[in-house]
Structure 1
Amino acid sequence: MAMVQAIEKCQIRTGFNDTQEHHHLGRMGTYGEQSIASGLVSLHFVNVTDHYPWLRLFEV
């Protein structure tokens, strides 16, 4: 729902969205796919609350 609203706002100007204090955001790739399908670019930065920031690297 929030991504749909952000895409609608960006059709006429640059937009920024912010959500806070979430533990599960769904499949993040979906939001990028939604923006690309609308001819837009989106950047997503995520972390969880009550935890130290961490990054999981994929082993090759």
Structure 2
Amino acid sequence: MFIEVTAADISLYHVAAKHLRDATQWWRIAQMNGMDDPDLSGLEAPVSLLLPAVSMTLTNGVSELSA
């Protein structure tokens, strides 16, 4: 699924919280879209982002770490 984001969306943390139900999974959105910074404040125009599917198996939200 694609969504449009702007600087008003603040950060990938906010996008992940809204669409993936877990702000700590922002890195999944970043990884799929070739990004490494969750900050969206520098966007001057809307940007389309591909969203990963909601994952019920990722419990800690941080890539490559285990609880």
Higher strand share: 2
TM-score when normalising by structure 1? 0.28
Higher RCO (Cα < 8 Å, 6 or more apart): 2
